[in-house]
Amino acid sequence: MKHRAGFVNIIGNPNVGKSTLMNAFVGEKLSIITSKAQTTRHRILGLVNGDDFQIIFSDTPGIIKPAYELQESMMDFVKSAFDDADILVYMVEVGESELKDEAFFNKIKRSKIPVLLLINKIDNSNQEEVEKKVNYWKEKVPNAEVYVISALENFNVEPVFERIVSLLPPSPPYFPKDQLTDKPERFFVNEKIREKILLNYKKEIPYAVEVETEEFTESDDIIRIRSVIMVERDSQKGIIIGHKGSALKRVGSEARKDLEKFFDKKVYLDLYVKINKNWRSDKNQLRRFGYQE
């Protein structure tokens, strides 16, 4: 049987469940998930390998109108998702009726490649509303195949997966068959720490934070990690650390537990906080953190 492989790009508004879906497909927590918009900043690939196929899922940041340089770069990741896709997965949630960016929306409607439109979070809805939404979206994006799913509860995810497999073009694999993702281990450490920051701090704090892992040393029985949490201002540094270091300690211990599961090994995690003024608007810094080519 001939081998098939292709890129499947998942796009949509912030918070509709794109990362949850990719993790459901891949079966690992590659992408961090929180209830906050802009949790995903990079484009993250997740691979699913079968004997005669390879699917390269690509999770992207939610589509927004960029307000600063970091967000510009985030939208470049979304644009590049259009360019190399073999199949487009356009995700909406039950409550929503249009994409925030019209240019993207028109691109989807004129797409030459297959479009699967997934209406997610139907666990939050009822039969009547779901049927209404299906009709609405079929009319709005006539070139799409419409599915209703719950990524969180893994409802109807399998038929979508099967459909994707059947749409893959003939091609040899793009990545080694035992590989799970294109990102290095340090990337997942940074993302896991960022997830805990998103969950533990309010308002603008998480958006001002970038994490960089300076040391990752693996031995037979333990991984030693040292990561720096960068903030833009002195006041933010105080908030991250918290009273007698309590807040930072909590982030560290929550992240360490998840990382031990992810790597299946004991982890020693050393965290510290540094001020890095205006990194979000600095092209050189964004390049260093992997947001620009």
Considering only CA atoms, which of 149, 178, 177, 184 is closest in space to residue 42?
184
Residue nearest to ligand GDP (CB): 17
Q: Can you tell me the distance from the alpha carbon of 128 to that of 150, in angstroms, rounded to the nearest whole number?
A: 16
**Contacting residue, 6, 17, 46, 114, with ligand GDP by CB under 6 A:** 17
Interacting partner of 227 out of Mg ion, ligand GDP, none (Cβ under 5 to 8 A depending on kind): none
15 makes contact with ligand GDP (CB under 6 A)? yes
* DSSP structural state of residue 61: P
Contacts of 243 (CB under 8 A, 6+ apart): none
Nearer to Mg ion among residue 16 and residue 115 (C-beta)? 16
19 makes contact with Mg ion (CB under 5 A)? yes
222-231 and 210-218 beta bridge pairing:
antiparallel
Smallest gap from residue 191 Cβ to ligand GDP (A)? 12
Binding map of Mg ion across residues 21-60, x = CB under 5 A, - = no contact: -------------------x--------------------
For 199, the 3-state DSSP assignment is: helix
Size of the site for ligand GDP (CB under 6 A): 19
The token pair at 287 is: 């390049």
The token pair at 137 is: 């979206």
**Contacting residue, 14, 173, 242, 290, with ligand GDP by CB under 6 A:** 14
* 14-22, 232-240, 253-261, 278-286 -> range binding ligand GDP (CB under 6 A): 14-22
Considering only CA atoms, which of 181, 259, 182, 183 is closest in space to residue 222?
259
Q: Can you tell me the distance from the alpha carbon of 245 to that of 103, in angstroms, rounded to the nearest whole number?
A: 46
Binding map of ligand GDP across residues 84-123, x = CB under 6 A, - = no contact: ------------------------------------xx-x
Contacts of 118 (CB under 8 A, 6+ apart): 21, 89, 90, 91, 92, 146, 147, 148, 149, 160
257 neighbors 196 (Cβ within 8 angstroms): no
Sheet with 266-275, edge to edge strand ranges:
210-218, 222-231, 266-275
85 neighbors 9 (Cβ within 8 angstroms): yes
92 neighbors 41 (Cβ within 8 angstroms): no
Interacting partner of 151 out of ligand GDP, Mg ion, none (Cβ under 5 to 8 A depending on kind): ligand GDP
Nearer to ligand GDP among residue 90 and residue 279 (C-beta)? 90
Nearer to Mg ion among residue 61 and residue 252 (C-beta)? 61
Size of the site for Mg ion (CB under 5 A): 3
Binding map of ligand GDP across residues 146-185, x = CB under 6 A, - = no contact: ----xxx---------------------------------
Nearer to Mg ion among residue 40 and residue 181 (C-beta)? 40
Binding map of ligand GDP across residues 33-72, x = CB under 6 A, - = no contact: x-x---xx---------------------x----------
Interface contacts to ligand GDP, rule CB under 6 A = 14-20, 33, 35, 39-40, 62, 120-121, 123-124, 150-152
